[in-house]
Structure 1
Amino acid sequence: MRKSFIIFSALTLLVIFCLGVYLSPNWYILFAIVLCLTGLGYYDMFQTKHSIMRIYPVFGRLRFLMEELRPKIYQYFIESDIDGRPINRIDRSTIYQRAKEENDTMPFGTQLDVYSEGYEWMCHSIAPKDFELLDHNPRVTVGNKACAQPYSCSVYNISAMSFGSLSSNAVEAMNAGAKIGGFAHNTGEGGLSPSHLKHGGDIIWQIGTGYFGCRTADGNFDENLFREKARLPQVKMIEIKISQGAKPGHGGILPASKNTPEIAAIRHIKPYTVVASPPYHKAFNTPREMVQFIQHLRVLSEGKPIGFKLCIGHKSEFIGICKAMIELDIYPDFITVDGAEGGTGAAPQEFSNYVGAPLLDGLDFVHNILTGLDIRKHIKILASGKVVSGFHIVRALALGADACYSARAMMMAVGCIQALLCNTNKCPVGVATQDPKLTVGLVVEDKKTRVANFHKNTVKTMVELLGASGLDRKENITRSHIYRRISFQSMLTYEEIFPSYETGSFLTEIPERYKLDFKYANPDHWGHSNIGSWSN
């Protein structure tokens, strides 16, 4: 579009000049108008703040006109996510405001229906804590007794998004923002690229079923390649991706148009081919082998924190993993719980909409099982799944998370406008595309600051919420602090909706709600035919 604009504007000016002299005495008026528009277009191409205007000079300004009309018109076009489920427009606007360090206060009171089913809120205290006296940078140390290099992790980090799905500029902006703000950047399963390493931000290297970046020619795990990259100083933790909330039980898909020679070299695959990751791992076949694989990676990485990510499906399978941990006395340093509400441009609609447990249910379950079996002390829990605000972080902490990830909010911080073209290689703001004509719109130097700003301001809000509840530490938030409206006349605390359990209580008696799941849990077999109960 930039090249087309240059050619079109130059030709238009030439035509007006050549023909206008002979056809109209007032030709210079039209010439002046087109010249002004041309100058405006060149300004748009060279400014660094707005990706749309850089890529679509002059015409991109129509977007801002639509934003001005948003309360009446624009919101109807962008009120849904890629999977059709509603997104809170207020949260979306807040992301942009915090990233740009604009005023994010809200005029005229809440814009949510506080009496509608599903409305949530947290308790405040008559004696709130002074924000200035609180920890403004809450962190958690990830690493158990077997970990030689524990990592101090921010409470809020960048979730897994691969280079390939995202452009190099988007990846660079996120990692550079993570460097500024002192938080971690998950690579996604697409491998560890130069764009992840260029700016020196902390990296959580994700190893998926395709073993991209550490795979043999036939697609198996290559421990030599893994050892080489896992020992890089920027790599702080390693995460094994078992399943993803947006498409649990389904491998990732990278369109051939996005599989450039650069991406193929990073992933150790052939360029310009459709890349379909297998839905399962080849390096292990049972829960016991999976736990042993965790220990193997810990040795290869010289003791860095090793964890795994999953969206909860059959409950018995997760319990089988826990049984294997206890029998082998080997524990991951962290577990990432991904929710079915997570998004991607690489999943069939049915998988996005109808497979896997939502974050809150999965988080409640994982925390309860680890606590009841008295192994929670070895393992930190990270939460991922539409965590886009300070309240979302507090809510996840109340259910047992130690820290959180965010993908879509970080994408918006680098300029995503939810054009819903992630899977087409035509992202109009250069975020989810490999087309150089589009990626040029995303300026790393500008967007890295926005990522850091968004993180800083969101964590600040989270700390303020804790202080408003009378809490001085994030570890003191409980399920009783969060309320949810069940109907117009009824509301329950999270403790009532998601009952918690005493540490080690499952060692003496399994609660009725989990008895069937424990019955079918087998550390030496994935329970493909197991019956899993989701009743409370």
Structure 2
Amino acid sequence: MFSRRYGAVWSAVLALAVLAALAAAHRASAWWLVLPSALLLVGLHDLLQSRHAILRNYPIWGHLRFFFEFVRPEIRQYFIEDDTGEMPFSRQQRSIVYQRAKSEVDSRPFGTELDVRAVGHEWVGHSLAPSRIDSADFRITVGPQRAQPVQLSVFNISAMSFGALSGNAIRALNRGARIGGFIHDTGEGSISPYHRQEGGDLIWEVASGYFGCRRADGSFDPDKFAEQARSPQVKMIEVKLSQGAKPGHGGVLPAAKVTPEIAATRGVPLGQDCVSPARHSEFSTPLGLLQFVDRLRDLSGGKPTGFKLCIGHPWEFFGIVKAMLESGILPDFIVVDGAEGGTGAAPLEFVDHIGTPLQEGLLLVHNTLLGVNLRDKIRIGASGKLVTAFDVARTLAIGADWCNSARGFMFALGCVQAQKCHTDRCPTGVATQDPVRQRAVVVPDKAERVANFHRHTLHALQELLQAAGLQHPSDLRAHHIVRRVSVNEVRLLSDLLKFLAPGDLLNGNYRYQLYEKYWPMARSDSFAL
């Protein structure tokens, strides 16, 4: 409590004590006690209130931030706009999320703040015969042929691990998912007590470290996996091959950050580095991957099981699909993670120059499954900087069945993108293991905001669909999205993106050079050419 974050409170206490002593000695007027007393009351209120994480961690000082937010229109050119004079998109995203999380009106007057003449600007084409949709609770079925199929919302919480996020942040996300009836991906850090405590539905992500289901040597332990996977709270199993933040890169949680809670959750030794290998030890071929997926499905009691990846070499994914055709083993779903996404820290080169962006990765997965007549048997999820209802609509239109969001739900928790995640000094208590800092995340309040953000985003999606004359997000297609390609020309996305027809790859109709060159060379028994 003697941190510099509380300096203003302690300064008020000290000033009050000194002035009170002087007043008692008749050397100062009692009126001098008013200001430090008022500041102390403000500081105590900030520490005890539950609505603002910044104020709980930075009592008194935090009001300066809200002051600048209040006068934002007058100081926009100094605090909001970037060097080009345009509002950075991430700030617009945060503004939308904050308003929806707090159930504030997110409508605005005086038209769009975007430059609709800018090349790359996109919009949904509206219909002169708008539809009427009774409910915004849009769902799809994952694994309908399995013993325990899942009715999944089209908008869910993407993978973020306990350890990266605080226990209170995990609790708030999971309780929000339970309130709103959507699903929470655990991330690769396994299922923590904080996931269990709130009772929300989970996707358990099993990564190369096999956290939560590993032996002492780091190999996969089927008994430990089955024990956790058969919990009624776990609805789906996801094998993580790679992530958008740093595809093809392992990770190390330094020993100093491996707390007793993290060690127990992940099943790793306390006081030692926690290593996430760059690759799995349970398989080394496309066919081996599918066999592992099938094994996890059986061990879980028939729950929908699939894998997540950021697309790299296209022939590797082609090899996985060829293995599906040859073995008959199909994943129930595939989650495509775009390279532009990722809330986790990563080397700069990986952030900017490794991995395929979501649009291209999603198109590759969608087209390949379509080309071998498997698209209707496998669901596709997508993640990568998806925050607004338009982000969701656009992604569904080019091939996804549902979307996941990480940063959107972090914003709903109160994240201000201070980018201090790796320092353990997150100002809002979201991405830290510091018990004092994470007390800023008041679980009941933030859980409601998480649920609000989800509900209002789906309501906005409902309104977009109605304007387009559609009945369900599954009706969205690329021809519903329009893009400006020059100052004087706009085109439908269906005319700009390349799509295969059903069965094309089986019939040898490769259509595009990528498939013509690499589909025949891909192998089910090796990730190499």
Q: Please report the TM-score for the alignment, with normalisation by the length of structure 1.
A: 0.93
Structure 2 counterpart of 1:230: 229
Q: 3-state SS of the aligned residue for 2:421?
A: coil
Partner Cα separation in structure 2 for residue 74 and residue 346 of structure 1:
29
Partner Cα separation in structure 2 for residue 152 and residue 221 of structure 1:
29
Asked if the contact 2:188/2:207 (under 8 Å) is kept, the reply is yes
Partner Cα separation in structure 2 for residue 11 and residue 302 of structure 1:
62
Any unmatched runs of 5+ in structure 2? none
Q: Deviation per CA, 1:265-300, whole angstroms, max 9, x where unpaired?
A: 111113344433111111101001000001100110
Structure 1 counterpart of 2:279: 280
Partner Cα separation in structure 2 for residue 77 and residue 362 of structure 1:
35
Structure 1 counterpart of 2:483: 484
> Do structure 1's residue 440 and structure 2's residue 442 form an aligned pair?
no
Structure 1 counterpart of 2:268: 269
> Do structure 1's residue 37 and structure 2's residue 39 form an aligned pair?
yes
Structure 2 vs 1, CA of residues 107 and 272 (structure 1 numbering), >3 Å: closer, same or farther? farther
Q: Deviation per CA, 1:25-54, whole angstroms, max 9, x where unpaired?
A: 32x222221011101111111110001111
Offset at residue 12 of structure 1 (A): 2.9
Partner Cα separation in structure 2 for residue 65 and residue 273 of structure 1:
44
Q: 3-state SS of the aligned residue for 1:505?
A: coil
Alignment of 1:39-118 (within 5 A): 39-71=41-73, 73=75, 87-118=89-120
Asked if the contact 1:144/1:379 (under 8 Å) is kept, the reply is no
Asked if the contact 1:168/1:195 (under 8 Å) is kept, the reply is yes
Structure 1 counterpart of 2:401: 402
Offset at residue 256 of structure 1 (A): 4.1
Name the % identity: 50
> Do structure 1's residue 16 and structure 2's residue 57 form an aligned pair?
no
Partner Cα separation in structure 1 for residue 31 and residue 204 of structure 2:
59
What one-letter code is carried by the residue in structure 1 that aligns with 2:248?
G
Asked if the contact 1:167/1:431 (under 8 Å) is kept, the reply is yes
Asked if the contact 1:2/1:57 (under 8 Å) is kept, the reply is no
> Do structure 1's residue 137 and structure 2's residue 137 form an aligned pair?
yes
Figure out how many residues of one structure are paired with residues of the other and give that number: 520
Structure 1 counterpart of 2:191: 192
Asked if the contact 2:237/2:305 (under 8 Å) is kept, the reply is yes
Asked if the contact 2:51/2:445 (under 8 Å) is kept, the reply is yes
Structure 1 counterpart of 2:512: 512
Partner Cα separation in structure 2 for residue 430 and residue 8 of structure 1:
23
Structure 2 vs 1, CA of residues 221 and 78 (structure 1 numbering), >3 Å: closer, same or farther? farther
What one-letter code is carried by the residue in structure 1 that aligns with 2:219?
N
Partner Cα separation in structure 2 for residue 334 and residue 388 of structure 1:
22
Q: Deviation per CA, 1:246-278, whole angstroms, max 9, x where unpaired?
A: 111112343444321111111111334443311
What one-letter code is carried by the residue in structure 2 that aligns with 1:113?
D
What one-letter code is carried by the residue in structure 1 that aligns with 2:104?
E
Structure 2 vs 1, CA of residues 274 and 67 (structure 1 numbering), >3 Å: closer, same or farther? farther
Partner Cα separation in structure 2 for residue 512 and residue 443 of structure 1:
52
Q: Which moved more, 1:133-142 or 1:334-343?
A: 133-142
Q: Which moved more, 1:152-161 or 1:267-276?
A: 267-276
Structure 2 counterpart of 1:500: 499
What one-letter code is carried by the residue in structure 2 that aligns with 1:11?
L
Offset at residue 77 of structure 1 (A): 5.7
Asked if the contact 2:297/2:304 (under 8 Å) is kept, the reply is yes
Offset at residue 93 of structure 1 (A): 0.5
Partner Cα separation in structure 1 for residue 23 and residue 228 of structure 2:
64
Offset at residue 88 of structure 1 (A): 3.8
Structure 2 vs 1, CA of residues 289 and 75 (structure 1 numbering), >3 Å: closer, same or farther? farther
Structure 2 counterpart of 1:258: 257
Alignment of 1:200-211 (within 5 A): 200-211=199-210
Q: Deviation per CA, 1:79-116, whole angstroms, max 9, x where unpaired?
A: 78xxxx95342222110000000010012110001111
Asked if the contact 1:134/1:467 (under 8 Å) is kept, the reply is no
Structure 2 vs 1, CA of residues 289 and 218 (structure 1 numbering), >3 Å: closer, same or farther? same
Asked if the contact 1:144/1:378 (under 8 Å) is kept, the reply is no
What one-letter code is carried by the residue in structure 1 that aligns with 2:131?
K
Q: 3-state SS of the aligned residue for 1:198?
A: helix
Q: Please report the TM-score for the alignment, with normalisation by the length of structure 2.
A: 0.95
Partner Cα separation in structure 1 for residue 13 and residue 179 of structure 2:
42
Q: Deviation per CA, 1:133-171, whole angstroms, max 9, x where unpaired?
A: 4342110100053x2111010000000000000000000
Structure 2 vs 1, CA of residues 108 and 52 (structure 1 numbering), >3 Å: closer, same or farther? same
Partner Cα separation in structure 1 for residue 231 and residue 320 of structure 2:
29
RMSD across aligned positions (CA): 1.8
What one-letter code is carried by the residue in structure 1 that aligns with 2:380?
I
* Match 2:124 to one of 110, 122, 125: 122
Structure 2 vs 1, CA of residues 517 and 75 (structure 1 numbering), >3 Å: closer, same or farther? farther
Partner Cα separation in structure 1 for residue 269 and residue 308 of structure 2:
27
What one-letter code is carried by the residue in structure 2 that aligns with 1:108?
F
Offset at residue 493 of structure 1 (A): 1.5
Asked if the contact 1:240/1:309 (under 8 Å) is kept, the reply is yes
Structure 2 vs 1, CA of residues 345 and 377 (structure 1 numbering), >3 Å: closer, same or farther? closer
Q: 3-state SS of the aligned residue for 1:335?
A: strand
What one-letter code is carried by the residue in structure 2 that aligns with 1:249?
G
Partner Cα separation in structure 1 for residue 258 and residue 76 of structure 2:
34
Partner Cα separation in structure 2 for residue 140 and residue 491 of structure 1:
32
Partner Cα separation in structure 2 for residue 519 and residue 156 of structure 1:
36
Asked if the contact 2:144/2:150 (under 8 Å) is kept, the reply is no
Partner Cα separation in structure 1 for residue 58 and residue 273 of structure 2:
29
Partner Cα separation in structure 1 for residue 473 and residue 101 of structure 2:
24
Asked if the contact 1:306/1:333 (under 8 Å) is kept, the reply is yes
Q: 3-state SS of the aligned residue for 2:462?
A: helix
Partner Cα separation in structure 2 for residue 295 and residue 390 of structure 1:
34
Partner Cα separation in structure 1 for residue 394 and residue 473 of structure 2:
11
Q: 3-state SS of the aligned residue for 1:141?
A: strand
Partner Cα separation in structure 1 for residue 52 and residue 279 of structure 2:
41
